[in-house]
C-alpha cells in the first residue's frame, strides 16, 4: 500500500522542498517493487526473441514495470541487479534539480563595470562571474555585451575578467573517458562556460564554383579555417572522414573533399584549446560589436563586495531540463549536477564529490535508504557524475522505477515528464519503433549499455513506469528488445485493466 508522510529534501530546502506530505520510503516500500504473485517474473516472448536475435542473453537485461495507479509491479526481471544506466542517470539529476530548485529557477551571471565611465570609456575593467549557466551560447553572450554597450560602454581601458571560481574541478583531460577529446560531449564543465566551448562548422555546396563553402561559428580570434573544400561526386556516406580534417590550435584544415550529394551539413567540434576558448570568444564578440579593448581577456576574481551592474538570467530550469533530457546533453547535465552542490552551499566552490554526496542523500530520501553512507555509493547504487557518461555508475531497475513512481506524485511531474523524448516523435526516441506518441522515455546508450526509463500510456488510459537496462557487449543491437518491451506494456489484458 502507498501512503504519504512528511519529509524534506535536504539541508537547504528550496521552494519545492519543504512542507510536502510525501516521502518515497513510505510511498513505495522496498517490498512493493519486489516480484509479487501478480507480477510477471519472466520476460515476454517477444522480448526474449529480440534478445536472441541480437545475441544477448536474458541475464544481461534488468526490467521493472509498475502501475502508477496502485504502485503494483506488473513485470519484475532481475530488477534488483545494479547495472550501468548510461544516460538514464540524467533522470536523477534533472528530477533532483526540479525538486530542490523548482521549474522556474534560473542561473544568474553577474556583470560589473568596475571603474568610472565617461564619454563611452570605462576607466577600469569589465568583470563576468559564472554560476554554472549551461546556456551561455552565442546569442545570449551577444545580448550580455549589448547590455554593456547600452549602459554606455564602447571602450574598456582595463581588461575583461572572467571569474569561474564557483566550481572547483580536479585536473582531467577532455579525452579521458573514451579518447575522443574533440567530441562536444567530452567538454568539461565549468562555472563560466561559453557556447559549450565548441565550434559549429557548416558546409554549403556551390556547384558553379565546384567547392563547398566552409563557415565556422563562431569564428574565433587566432584560428584560421579553410574557406572552401573541393566538391566530389558520389554518395553521401562518411562525409566527415572524406574531409580529412585536422583540428589544431590556431588552425583548422580540411585537406580532403566534400560530396555534393550531401547538401548542407554541419559538424560540431570541441575546440582543441578549451582553456582559452572563453577568452578568445569574448574578444571576438566584443570587437564584432565595435567595442575597443585596451587590455586583455583573462581569468580572475570578481569584485567581492560591490553590487553587480546587472545580471544575465538564464532560461527557466524547466526549459534547461527539457534540453538535457530530449537530446541527452551530457555537458548541460554536468553543469546542473555541480549547480546542485553550489546551491546547497553557495559560499563554497562546488565539487564533484559534494554533488555526488548531495544526489545520494536526496535519492535515499526519495526512494529509501541503502548501505554505503552518502559518498555516492550504496548497495545498489554508485553515482559517478550527473550525466551517466561513466563506466562506474550503477543503479538497479527497481530503485529507478521507485524514483519514477515517486516523481509521478510530485509537484514537478509534468515538467519532468514533458522533458522526456516521445516515442517515434522527437529527441533521442524519434527513430524508435515503439508505438508513436504513447511513451515518454529517457534513453541511455554507451558502448555495452542500452536502456530506457520513463512512462508509457496504455490504450485504456493507465500510466505505467517502465525501466529496462541491458549491459552486454551487444547491448546496442538489443534496442529492438527495448521497443518490444514497450509494445508489450501496451497490450490490453486483465492484468492491466484490474
Q: What is the pLDDT of residues 205-257, one digit of tens each?
A: 999 999 999 999 999 988 999 999 999 999 999 999 999 999 999 999 999 99
CB 458 within 8 A of CB 478: no
Q: What is the DSSP string of 68-119?
A: TTTTEEEEEESTTSEE--GGGHHHHHHHHHHHHH-TT---EEEEEEES-EET
Tell me which residue of 161, 153, 156, 150 sits closest to 123, measured CA to CA. Answer: 156
Q: Given a cut of 80, is residue 36 above it in pLDDT? A: no
What is the pLDDT of the chain when averaged over all its residues? 90
Task: Round to whole Å and give the CA distance between 362 and 369.
Answer: 10
pLDDT tens-digit map of 282-338: 999 999 999 999 999 999 999 998 999 999 999 999 999 999 999 999 999 999 999
* pLDDT above 90: percentage of residues in the chain: 80
Q: What is the pLDDT of residue 13?
A: 41
Summarize the confidence of residues 35-60 as an average pLDDT. Answer: 86
Q: Given a cut of 80, is residue 53 above it in pLDDT? A: yes
β-bridge pairing 155-156 and 121-122: parallel
pLDDT tens-digit map of 430-477: 888 777 889 999 999 999 999 999 999 999 899 999 999 999 999 999
* pLDDT above 70: percentage of residues in the chain: 89
- List beta partners, residue 259: 232
Half-sphere exposure of 108 (CA within 13 A, CB side): 11
Q: Given a cut of 70, is residue 126 above it in pLDDT? A: yes
Lowest mean pLDDT among 280-284, 363-367, 368-372: 368-372
Domain boundaries, the chain: 24-104+317-497, 108-173+274-313, 198-270
CB 89 within 8 A of CB 453: no
Q: Given a cut of 90, is residue 494 above it in pLDDT? A: no
Q: Given a cut of 80, is residue 40 above it in pLDDT? A: no
Q: At what angle do helices 89-101 and 330-344 cross, to 10 degrees?
A: 40
Task: Round to whole Å and give the CA distance between 130 and 109.
Answer: 5
pLDDT tens-digit map of 82-96: 999 999 999 999 999
Q: Which three cell numbers stand for residue 41?
A: 517474473
pLDDT category at 23 given cuts 50, 70, 90 is very low
Q: What is the pLDDT of residue 490?
A: 86
63 three-class SS: strand
- In degrees and rounded to multiples of 5, residue 239 shows phi and psi of -70, -30
Q: What is the pLDDT of residue 285?
A: 97
Summarize the confidence of residues 180-200 as an average pLDDT. Answer: 96
Q: What is the pLDDT of residue 148?
A: 98
Pick the CATH number of 24-104+317-497 from 3.90.190.20, 3.40.710.10, 3.40.50.20, 1.10.260.30: 3.40.710.10
Q: Which three cell numbers stand for residue 366?
A: 526519495
Q: Given a cut of 70, is residue 480 above it in pLDDT? A: yes
CB 63 within 8 A of CB 79: yes
Half-sphere exposure of 424 (CA within 13 A, CB side): 11
Q: What is the DSSP string of 117-164?
A: EETTEESSEEEEE----TT--HHHHHHHHHHHHHTT-SEESS-EEEE-
Task: Round to whole Å and give the CA distance between 335 and 404.
Answer: 22
**Is the domain 108-173+274-313 a CATH 3.40.50.80 member?**
no
Q: What is the pLDDT of residue 491?
A: 79
Q: Given a cut of 80, is residue 38 above it in pLDDT? A: no
Amino acid at each position: 500500500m502507498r501512503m504519504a508522510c512528511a519529509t524534506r529534501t535536504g539541508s537547504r530546502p528550496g521552494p519545492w522542498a519543504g512542507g510536502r506530505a510525501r516521502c518515497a520510503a513510505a510511498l513505495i516500500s522496498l517490498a512493493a517493487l519486489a516480484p509479487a504473485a501478480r507480477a510477471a517474473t519472466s520476460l515476454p516472448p517477444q522480448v526474449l526473441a529480440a534478445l536472441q536475435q541480437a545475441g544477448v542473453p536474458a541475464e544481461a537485461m534488468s526490467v521493472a514495470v509498475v502501475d502508477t495507479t496502485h504502485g503494483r509491479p506488473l513485470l519484475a526481471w532481475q530488477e534488483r541487479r545494479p547495472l550501468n544506466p548510461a544516460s538514464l542517470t540524467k533522470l536523477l539529476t534533472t528530477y533532483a534539480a526540479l525538486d530542490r530548485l523548482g521549474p522556474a529557477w534560473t542561473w544568474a551571471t553577474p556583470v560589473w563595470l568596475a571603474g568610472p565611465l565617461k564619454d563611452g570609456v570605462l576607466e577600469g575593467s569589465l568583470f563576468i562571474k559564472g554560476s554554472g549557466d549551461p546556456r551561455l551560447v552565442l546569442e545570449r553572450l551577444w545580448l550580455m555585451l549589448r547590455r554593456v554597450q547600452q549602459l554606455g560602454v564602447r571602450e574598456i581601458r582595463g581588461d575583461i575578467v572572467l571569474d569561474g571560481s564557483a566550481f572547483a574541478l580536479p585536473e582531467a583531460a577532455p579525452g579521458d573517458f573514451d579518447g575522443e577529446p574533440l567530441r562536444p560531449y567530452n567538454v568539461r564543465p565549468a562555472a563560466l562556460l561559453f557556447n559549450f566551448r565548441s565550434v559549429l562548422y557548416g558546409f554549403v555546396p556551390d556547384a558553379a564554383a565546384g567547392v563547398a563553402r566552409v563557415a565556422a561559428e563562431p569564428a574565433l580570434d587566432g584560428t584560421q579555417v579553410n574557406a572552401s573544400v573541393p566538391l566530389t561526386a558520389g554518395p553521401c556516406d562518411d562525409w566527415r572522414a572524406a574531409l580529412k580534417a585536422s583540428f589544431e590550435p590556431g588552425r583548422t584544415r580540411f585537406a580532403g573533399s566534400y560530396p555534393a550529394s550531401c547538401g548542407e551539413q554541419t559538424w560540431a567540434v570541441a575546440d582543441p584549446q578549451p582553456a582559452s576558448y572563453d577568452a578568445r570568444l569574448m574578444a571576438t564578440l566584443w570587437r564584432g560589436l565595435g567595442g575597443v579593448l585596451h587590455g586583455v581577456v583573462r581569468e580572475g576574481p570578481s569584485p567581492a563586495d560591490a553590487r553587480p551592474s546587472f545580471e544575465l538570467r538564464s532560461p527557466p530550469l524547466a526549459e534547461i531540463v527539457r534540453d538535457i533530457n530530449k537530446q541527452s546533453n551530457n555537458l548541460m547535465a554536468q553543469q546542473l549536477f555541480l549547480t546542485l552542490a553550489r546551491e546547497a552551499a553557495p559560499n563554497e566552490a562546488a565539487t564533484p564529490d559534494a554533488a555526488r554526496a548531495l544526489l545520494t542523500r536526496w535519492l535515499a530520501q526519495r526512494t529509501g535508504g541503502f548501505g554505503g553512507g552518502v559518498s555516492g555509493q550504496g548497495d545498489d547504487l554508485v553515482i559517478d557524475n550527473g550525466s551517466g557518461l561513466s563506466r562506474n555508475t550503477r543503479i538497479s531497475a527497481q530503485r529507478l522505477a521507485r524514483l519514477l513512481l515517486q516523481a509521478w506524485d510530485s509537484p514537478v511531474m509534468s515538467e519532468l515528464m514533458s522533458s522526456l523524448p516521445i516515442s517515434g516523435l522527437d529527441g533521442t526516441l524519434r527513430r524508435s519503433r515503439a508505438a508513436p506518441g504513447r511513451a515518454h522515455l529517457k534513453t541511455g546508450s554507451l558502448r555495452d549499455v542500452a536502456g530506457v526509463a520513463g512512462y508509457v500510456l496504455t490504450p485504456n488510459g493507465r500510466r505505467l513506469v517502465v525501466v529496462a537496462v541491458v549491459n552486454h557487449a551487444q547491448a546496442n543491437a538489443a534496442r529492438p528488445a527495448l521497443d518490444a518491451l514497450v509494445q508489450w506494456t501496451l497490450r490490453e489484458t486483465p492484468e492491466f485493466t484490474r
